[in-house]
Structure 1
């Protein structure tokens, strides 16, 4: 069963959902963009949980395309699902890794029993993924992944990202 997909322009850290997806770096220890914002607003509980993950199962960090959950700290969510998106490359097709971020995040959400999940546009910021292609991959992957999640909310930072995702959503729903 595929979830209802909604698009929202705004700040992912202000969302109320069972799980908020973090476009993390492989260290899991915070960074810039969405990652930094989630760690800042969520507070030290998220960083503490990430440090424990690094000390146990993820000593070398989280692999690109994988996902893992922590408590959400002060965010209006129960969990943060951290996933590491690929850096875009003009010479190597990494789209399967980007799709894996969405698929693995939904699998983790299912394991947790999360029904509502808020996603950013993974890899489309500092990692340089072209927004139109990132939107297509995100929407296609969520639509075709078998999950118990009932709502996937794409939280787009600005009007341009919202418009690109809206166009991709309209295109995908008519095909």
Structure 2
């Protein structure tokens, strides 16, 4: 499967190495989404392990982020959509967000429908990033943490290496699009 010394070209990356690197990106990104989903399930955002402390995005934090984004955006139709539909019906949308993040996280960690999971993550985080364009946040906050990894994972079939997509593509062949 890998290249041999006779077929390898200097300066190229072996296909197997490239696939394994995408596997690491897929699993890491999936763990980020899964941990934030679990923070919503257990309604716990802050953790202090003594030697290490961190925060995740629970349901209340997510609502605050969306409220701030929707009220400060210059893209009025998008802000109105979030204010009038999502935030005013937060009971439903909070559960939807939790389930969607669980699906994205599990899909990426297990490598099942990994491209679809990445697209789902983009659909969740993309509008928020767009609404926050004019808020003077750190420029690379959402692109580096969420958008670029998800775009790459939506393009590359990363679940086909050490993921369940590998088994599904063997079963379904070209009909398995993920």
TM-score, normalized by the shorter chain, greater than 0.5: no
Q: Rg: which structure is higher?
A: 2
Between Structure 1 and Structure 2, which shows a larger proportion of helix residues? Answer: 2
Between Structure 1 and Structure 2, which shows a larger proportion of strand residues? Answer: 1
Quick one: higher RCO (CA 8 Å, sep 6+), 1 or 2? 1
TM-score (norm 2): 0.31
